[in-house]
Amino acid sequence: MTSSKINKAHEPLFHLSKRDGIAFWKAWLIRIAAVALGLAVCGLVAYLFSDKLRTGKKTLEDFYYCFIKGAFGTERKLWKFLKNMAVLQCISLAVTPAFRMRFWNIGAEGQTLMGVWGAIAVAFYLGGKVPEWLLLIIMFAAALVCSAVWAVIPALFKARWNTNETLFTLMMNYVATYVVSYFLVVWVPSGSSALGKLKYGKLPPLPFGNQYLLIILISLAMTVLLYIYLRHSKHGYEISVVGESERTARYSGMNVGKVIIRTMVVSGLLCGLAGYLIGAGLDQSVNTESVGGQGFTAIMVSWLAKFNPLVMLLTAGLVSLLNSGAAQISQDLNVSGAFPDVIVGIILFFIIGSEFFINYRIVMSRKGHAGKEVLK
């Protein structure tokens, strides 16, 4: 009697067990539910901060309609949404190979910024002195080299001395920021540090379709290429093995250091491409905010997609949708311009949290279950 009492006091209400696998539709049902819940919380937060919502000038329906309006409201908005998504997708692809081998590269922001800087530096110094087609090629090469160098430095130290890559790559972001702001001071003699649009080195749009179509197509092509590289090439296989277990990789004769460095070069090259798209394709200029935090957002996008390039189209789309929708909200409902960050943050919390319910099963303890075991 006493023993069962003690047991009851210590019996937890539920326990957790890891799922072996989960039906595809179940996993997505959980994720969709999480996003829906997150959106409900966003509505609540918006209600707190928007006077227009509180006084009834706008309704919650308007609030949710903003997400659609902001991304697909007009044709221009739609293309802009697709462009933002394409750039984010490209940076997300860049961080993916490293993540698959559990190399926590959070330096995509700096790597991409160096790519933008490299392309613009070439356009600044060589613009007008060489033919435009040649200039664009040199810019491309410069972007790739700058980004790859920025990415490979932490990898070299990781491979040789096991230097903590998360902290190293994080610091490299800020070094890159100040490299750019140094050159802005040098390049802009007026002291305003704002480099205007350069005349040369603009990536020409395709002869047909929208001006952003080229960027979108490049991004899509890279998605497919990276998918093939990661899934169906020897390199991709080695990355997966190093990610699963470094020891296994070593025992099976792989040179782990080489794999780390090579993968980071791939990451850097992709960042360079993204930087080129931003620098030559869109801005024709560079500033410390050229990448605007997308390097960090990309990490979350890549993680949400479970490092699968194809699924990443969906997650990059979701984040871009939230961003453009929330931008519309802050405009329509008169909340601060920082509101998109709040929306994205909340939704991410819910998706991050929902992964737990996909990976684990909560088993409720049955009454008297522990007691029976004691009796045995």
Residue numbers at the binding site for other proteins (CB under 8 A): 16-18, 45, 49, 104, 106, 157, 161-164, 166-168, 170-175, 178-179, 181-182, 185-186, 191, 293, 296-297, 299-300, 303-304, 335-342, 344-346, 348-349, 352-353, 355-356, 359-360
**Structure-token pair, residue 146:** 């700058």
Distance of CA 163 to the CA centre of its chain: 24
Q: Give dist(CA 107, CA 77) in Å, integer.
A: 30
**Quick one: which of 256, 351, 372 has its CA closest to 28?**
351
Q: Give dist(CA 99, CA 58) in Å, integer.
A: 43
Closest separation in Å from C-beta 164 to other proteins: 6
Nearer to other proteins, 173 or 276 (CB): 173
Closest separation in Å from C-beta 203 to other proteins: 28
Distances (CA, A) of 51 to 2, 46, 59: 60, 9, 11
Closest separation in Å from C-beta 168 to other proteins: 6
**Quick one: which of 130, 11, 67 has its CA closest to 319?**
67
Closest separation in Å from C-beta 107 to other proteins: 11
Closest separation in Å from C-beta 174 to other proteins: 4
Nearer to other proteins, 227 or 303 (CB): 303
Q: Give dist(CA 300, CA 290) in Å, integer.
A: 19
Taken as a whole, the chain contains a residue count of: 376
Nearer to other proteins, 172 or 203 (CB): 172
Closest separation in Å from C-beta 262 to other proteins: 21
Closest separation in Å from C-beta 355 to other proteins: 6
Nearer to other proteins, 130 or 153 (CB): 153
Nearer to other proteins, 65 or 360 (CB): 360
Q: Give dist(CA 257, CA 103) in Å, integer.
A: 12
Nearer to other proteins, 201 or 268 (CB): 268
Q: Give dist(CA 282, CA 210) in Å, integer.
A: 13
Q: Give dist(CA 18, CA 374) in Å, integer.
A: 25
Nearer to other proteins, 108 or 142 (CB): 108
**Quick one: which of 315, 251, 267, 273 has its CA closest to 100?**
267
Nearer to other proteins, 46 or 90 (CB): 46
**Quick one: which of 31, 22, 27 has its CA closest to 347?**
31
Closest separation in Å from C-beta 254 to other proteins: 22
* Residue 280 near residue 123, CB atoms below 8 Å: yes
The H-or-E segment that residue 125 falls in is helix 108-126
Q: Give dist(CA 302, CA 88) in Å, integer.
A: 10
